[in-house]
Amino acid sequence: MFSLYSYHLILVLALNTSQNFGKMETEALLKWKASLLNDYPSFLPTWTISNSSSYFNKTTSPCSWSGISCSNAGHVVKLNVSRLGLQGTLLNFNFSSFPNLTSLDLSSNALFGTIPAHIANLSQIMFLVFSNNTLSGEIPSEIGLLTNLVTLNIDQSRLYGSIPSKIGNLFNLETLYLSKNLLTGSIPLTVGNLTKLHGLVLWDNQLNGFIPLEIGNLVSLTELTLQSNNFSGTIPASLGNLSDLTTLYLQHTKLSGSIPPEIGNLKSLIELQNNTNNLSGTIPHSFGNLSDLTTLFLYQNQLSGSISPQIGNLKSLQRLVLFTNTLTGSIPASFGNLSHLKFVSLWGNQLSGSIPPEIGNLKSLTALYLETNNLSGTIPASLGVLFLMFTSAGIFFIFCRKNIEIKEEQGEIQKDLFCVWNYDGSIVYEDIIEATENFSPEHCIGTGGYGSVYKAKLPTGQIFSDSEEAVKLDWVRRVNIVKGVANAFSYLHHDCLPPIVHRDISSSNILLDSQYEVRVSDFGTARLLKPDSSNWTELAGTYGYVAPELAYTMRVTEKCVMYSFGVLTP
């Protein structure tokens, strides 16, 4: 009897405790809802006592409310009210009422004010996401008491002050996102304690001081993004310990000194962006070990020496950007091994010698920038690239050669290899489907206002690179092109009813057919001019061609197009 009595007593106490917790959580949530500035009827409509339900008590539990998940015992364990446009503060959020809460997501709202110190009462919290709000103030040091935290995300807010050193107490933390705030001070050395960390994202703040050597202790790190800060000093060689790192962003950080060769130990690295700093010295030969690297940005530094032939070992490389340094020597012939390379920019250096013909083997290459160097010799004939373009006028086949400027010490050679139309009737619909793999997204290289541009490799057509066969755009042809553009606008503005304004006239939207007749393309931003309307519209067009008055009046007229025409034909 005693045992049975004890069992019933324990059951009653458990029920009462669960009901008390449910009542406490309900009251806390309703109080916070009442403090928010949202007052429209559809605002958190299920957050009312009448709509609540529970096995134990249908008047107090919030477990059926939207955005709330409960345990089997009826305790709130998850709260997700992201992207609801909530306006208000956290001051009236009673964190102590949720001792079982493991996940709190308030991201992408309009919350403002500070993060209260009593957030430390969330003793079981594992996921804390406050990103994309307008929260301000300092990160409370009490956040270091939340030792169960796995994810802390407060990026895209207005937090200021320093990162508290007690954040190093969060031994279970795997992701720390504090980017796009106003944080100052240095990265605390205690960050090195977070050995389970996978992502350290602190970019776009005002952090200063040295990048701590202790970051090299974070052996589980896969993402390290510190760009757009005000650091000083050099890149720590200890970063070479991060063998799982896939993303390393250090650009725009004012770092100086040489690039440590230990970076070449990061065998898992996919993206390395270290541009726009004050780095000096040479590009380490050890970079040739980064076999998974797809992006290497080192531009706008003070790097010197030659480009190591070991770069040719980066078989996954797609983008290589080294412009505006003081690199010397020749372009390595090993570039021809980079079969996935799409974009190369080496301009603004002191490179010499000829362009290696091996670059012509790069079938994926779409852009090659070599101007403002001391290169000599000829342009390899194999640098042609075939594009397939869809426009509003139909389907055209364009054979495009790169515009490459090669500067020699005693002169300048410019070969403007141009685009010609080619269609001889042998290319049929089946060829197009085969060349683009049924218009696979992998072949799409850009999308304009009207239609998409695809890259393809067709067996037909000829690339004209022989100066004897090439036809120059002499002054007679240029004048005829200008007349053709003017006639096109005259038709759109005066012969169409209602008139049509293009809104994006630029050199890239003026096409030529095989007879050099003008074809105006890309009407994706065009608008009809209605006589009974103010014709207000959003700003559209290409920078440099847009009429200034359109930017501040937002009223489109034919004169706006004529301004673009004036820029196009100086």
Q: What is the DSSP string of 206-250?
A: --EEPPPGGGGG-TT--EEE--SSEE-S---GGGGG-TT--EEE-
For residue 442, the model assigns a pLDDT of 64
For residue 562, the model assigns a pLDDT of 57
Residues with Cβ < 8 Å from 410, sequence gap 6 or more? Answer: none
More reliable by pLDDT, 245 or 450: 245
pLDDT band at 189 (very low <50, low <70, confident <90, very high): very high
Number of CB atoms found within 10 A of residue 447's CB: 10
Per the DSSP assignment, residues forming a β-bridge with 396 are 389
Number of CB atoms found within 10 A of residue 250's CB: 25
Model pLDDT for residues 102-150, shown as the tens digit of each residue = 999 999 999 999 999 999 999 999 999 999 999 999 999 999 999 999 9
* C-beta of residue 201 within 8 angstroms of C-beta of residue 179: yes
The DSSP H or E segment spanning 13 is helix 2-35
Closest CA to 202 of 193, 211, 192: 211
Closest CA to 122 of 140, 141, 86, 149: 149
More reliable by pLDDT, 41 or 393: 41
> How far is Cα 329 from Cα 324, in angstroms, rounded to an integer?
15
Asked whether residue 449 carries a pLDDT value surpassing 80, the answer given is: no
Model pLDDT for residues 73-85, shown as the tens digit of each residue = 999 999 999 999 9
Asked whether residue 6 carries a pLDDT value surpassing 80, the answer given is: no
The DSSP H or E segment spanning 5 is helix 2-35
Percent of the chain with pLDDT over 90: 54
Model pLDDT for residues 399-417, shown as the tens digit of each residue = 333 333 333 333 333 333 3
Over residues 375-402, the mean pLDDT reads 46
pLDDT band at 281 (very low <50, low <70, confident <90, very high): very high
pTM summary value: 0.68
Rg of the chain over all Cα atoms, to the nearest angstrom: 31
For residue 370, the model assigns a pLDDT of 87
- Give just the sign of the alpha carbon dihedral 433, 438, 442, 448: positive
Asked whether residue 395 carries a pLDDT value surpassing 80, the answer given is: no
State residue 99 phi and psi, 5-degree precision.
Answer: -70, -15
Closest CA to 383 of 350, 351, 356, 352: 356
State residue 419 phi and psi, 5-degree precision.
Answer: -100, 140
Model pLDDT for residues 474-501, shown as the tens digit of each residue = 777 777 777 777 777 677 666 666 777 7
> How far is Cα 61 from Cα 65, in angstroms, rounded to an integer?
9
Model pLDDT for residues 192-220, shown as the tens digit of each residue = 999 999 999 999 999 999 999 999 999 99
Q: What is the DSSP letter of 536?
A: B
Burial 388-423 (b: 16+ CB within 10 A, else e): bbbbeeeebbbbbbbebbbbeeeeeeeeebebbebe
User: Under DSSP, is residue 552 helix (H, G, I), strand (E, B) or coil?
Assistant: helix
Closest CA to 73 of 46, 55, 58, 96: 55
> How far is Cα 239 from Cα 187, in angstroms, rounded to an integer?
15
For residue 478, the model assigns a pLDDT of 76
Over residues 68-97, the mean pLDDT reads 95
Q: How far is CA 158 from the centre of its chain?
A: 21
> How far is Cα 12 from Cα 60, in angstroms, rounded to an integer?
17
Q: Which of 156-160, 407-411, 459-463 has the lowest mean pLDDT?
A: 407-411
For residue 392, the model assigns a pLDDT of 27
Over residues 312-334, the mean pLDDT reads 95
* C-beta of residue 221 within 8 angstroms of C-beta of residue 242: yes
Percent of the chain with pLDDT over 70: 66
For residue 499, the model assigns a pLDDT of 72
> How far is Cα 178 from Cα 185, in angstroms, rounded to an integer?
14
* C-beta of residue 253 within 8 angstroms of C-beta of residue 275: no
* C-beta of residue 111 within 8 angstroms of C-beta of residue 135: yes
For residue 90, the model assigns a pLDDT of 97
Peptide linkage before 498 cis (omega within 30 of 0): yes
Q: How far is CA 359 from CA 283, 305, 338, 356, 455, in A?
A: 21, 21, 9, 6, 19
* C-beta of residue 236 within 8 angstroms of C-beta of residue 259: no
550: its two tokens: 């359109």
Over residues 259-283, the mean pLDDT reads 97
416: its two tokens: 């403007």
Q: Which domains does the chain have, with CATH numbers?
A: 428-464 (no CATH), 476-569 (1.10.510.10)
Token pair 């795997």 in the structure block, residue? 174
